[in-house]
């Protein structure tokens, strides 16, 4: 079995008016940062449940017989597929059970429950959750809705490709995140049918290179937690693998740092909230810049369901990485007036003190001296050096914590 452009056009008719026809927006600042001629973002994070999964879920659920719909459905998912199935099952009056693995972000669990589905937490991975879900489906006569290895799911996701090619027909490359491969298989089928010369490039988290290794007949070694949990899949689909082998020119692997950086850049440069998987395309462009220099690129922002705490942590870590928030350890004589002089030296250099800590006990310094750990907001890495120079000029010994390149001042 495969999926054709006609299947995708039929899916587009089925989902019309039920899911969001998402915009494709230019991102000139991201293009400048990556060396591309242009970047267009297909904003699937604007779907009702926050991801592209709405498309395939509705297309699949509408295909059920009356008996199947009455008996209900079951799905396994780390979050986005779960929400899509739960949301549209509720809308169509179909009972839904969702099996989610342990460690699924809290916001995705609660959001899924809010759509009226019965959520079962089972298994330490998505694959373990899938085994349990299939057993439950057989026991309770439920229709199993696979997140990616299903022709109707793939056809539903492929409607993204129809819309993108209609809106931006002159693209050279489309970059798509890959977990199980459903969204890539669908978009590639649509885009290559419309424009055979377009290049399709997939992206996987380096900790979960399942499709990358499967098409190369390699045995993958999986990591632990990734910020891109939406594409942290160990077993790619058979249907999707066959399509991707035929239509996709390459699959790029990205480490955690560029994934974090991409989430940060989406938020800061484009004011777009993207989860790790949703920012994976941009991460690939940052990590493999030469592949995209001078190209017109379409990026699929496949989802925006990132935990608020995680988003905050990523943004703060980004400030530290960029040198816009630093921790300075400053040695002082522990007597009145010295702290004021220290603060003045930082302020005169344009730094903003966010937090300050005295280290009097846990230090090797003599009793009349102390360490001050100051967390300082700066403009950039060069500004950090100006602040440290100001402190040195005021007579303080200072070093930057958490920086291998920083060395103590004289």
Q: What 3-state class would DSSP assign to 136?
A: helix
Interval 70-109: pLDDT, tens: 999 999 987 789 999 999 999 999 999 999 888 777 777 8
Q: Where are the beta strands (DSSP E) in 256-301?
A: 296-301
Distance spanning both ends of the chain, measured CA to CA? 71
**pLDDT given at position 410:** 34
**pLDDT given at position 404:** 38
Specify the CATH number for 5-52+155-318; select among 3.50.50.60, 3.40.630.30, 3.40.190.10, 3.40.50.1100.
3.40.50.1100
pTM of the entire predicted model:
0.88
> In whole angstroms, what is the distance from residue 171 CA to residue 152 CA?
26
Do the first three CATH levels of 5-52+155-318 and 54-144 match, i.e. the same topology? yes
**pLDDT given at position 362:** 67
CB atoms within 10 A of CB 341: 13
- Token pair recorded at residue 200: 């399709």
Q: Would you list the domain boundaries of the chain?
A: 5-52+155-318, 54-144, 323-401
**pLDDT given at position 376:** 96
Topology given in CATH for the domain delimited by 54-144: Rossmann fold (3.40.50)
Specify the CATH number for 323-401; select among 1.10.357.10, 3.20.20.70, 3.90.1150.10, 3.30.70.260.
3.30.70.260
**pLDDT given at position 408:** 38
Q: Are 145 and 57 in contact (CB under 8 A)?
A: yes
Q: Are 342 and 391 in contact (CB under 8 A)?
A: yes
> In whole angstroms, what is the distance from residue 237 CA to residue 214 CA?
10
- 312: Cβ–Cβ under 8 A, 6 or more apart, which residues? none
Which regions of the chain are under pLDDT 50? 404-410
DSSP 142: P
Q: Computed over its alpha carbons, how large is the radius of gyration of the chain? A: 25
Interval 268-282: pLDDT, tens: 999 999 999 999 999
């Amino acid at each position: 079995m495969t999926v054709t452009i006609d299947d995708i056009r039929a899916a587009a008719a089925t989902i019309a008016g039920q899911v969001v026809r998402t915009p494709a927006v230019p991102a000139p600042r991201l293009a400048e940062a990556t060396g591309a001629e242009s970047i267009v973002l297909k904003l699937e994070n604007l779907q009702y449940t926050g991801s592209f999964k709405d498309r395939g879920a509705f297309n699949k659920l509408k295909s059920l017989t009356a008996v199947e719909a009455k008996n209900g459905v079951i799905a396994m998912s780390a979050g986005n597929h779960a929400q899509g199935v739960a949301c549209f099952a509720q809308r169509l009056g179909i009972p839904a059970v969702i099996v989610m693995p342990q460690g699924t972000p809290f916001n995705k669990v609660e959001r899924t429950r809010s759509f009226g589905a019965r959520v079962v937490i089972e298994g330490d991975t998505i694959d373990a959750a899938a085994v349990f879900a299939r057993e439950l489906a057989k026991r309770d006569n439920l229709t199993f809705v696979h997140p990616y290895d299903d022709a109707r799911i793939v056809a539903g996701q492929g409607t993204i490709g129809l819309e993108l090619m209609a809106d931006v027909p002159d693209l050279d490359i489309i970059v798509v995140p890959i977990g199980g491969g459903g969204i890539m298989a669908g978009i590639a089928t649509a885009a290559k049918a419309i424009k055979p010369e377009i290049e399709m490039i997939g992206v996987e988290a380096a900790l979960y290179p399942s499709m990358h290794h499967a098409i190369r007949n390699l045995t993958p070694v999986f990591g632990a937690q990734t910020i891109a949990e939406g594409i942290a899949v160990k077993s790619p689909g058979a249907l999707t693998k066959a399509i991707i082998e035929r239509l996709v020119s390459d699959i790029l692997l990205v480490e955690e740092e560029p994934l974090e950086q991409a989430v940060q850049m989406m938020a800061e440069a484009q004011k777009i909230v993207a989860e790790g998987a949703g920012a994976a395309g941009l991460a690939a462009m940052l990590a493999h810049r030469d592949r995209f220099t001078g190209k017109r690129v379409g990026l699929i922002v496949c989802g925006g369901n990132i935990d608020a705490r995680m988003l905050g942590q990523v943004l703060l870590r980004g400030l530290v990485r960029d040198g816009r928030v630093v921790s300075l350890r400053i040695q002082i004589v522990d007597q009145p007036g010295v702290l004021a002089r220290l603060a003045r030296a930082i302020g005169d250099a344009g730094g903003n003190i966010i937090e300050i800590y005295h280290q009097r006990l846990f230090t090797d310094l003599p009793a009349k001296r102390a360490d001050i750990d100051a967390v300082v907001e700066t403009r950039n890495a060069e500004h950090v050096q100006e602040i440290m120079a100001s402190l040195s000029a005021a007579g303080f010994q200072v070093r930057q914590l958490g920086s291998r390149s920083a060395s103590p001042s004289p």
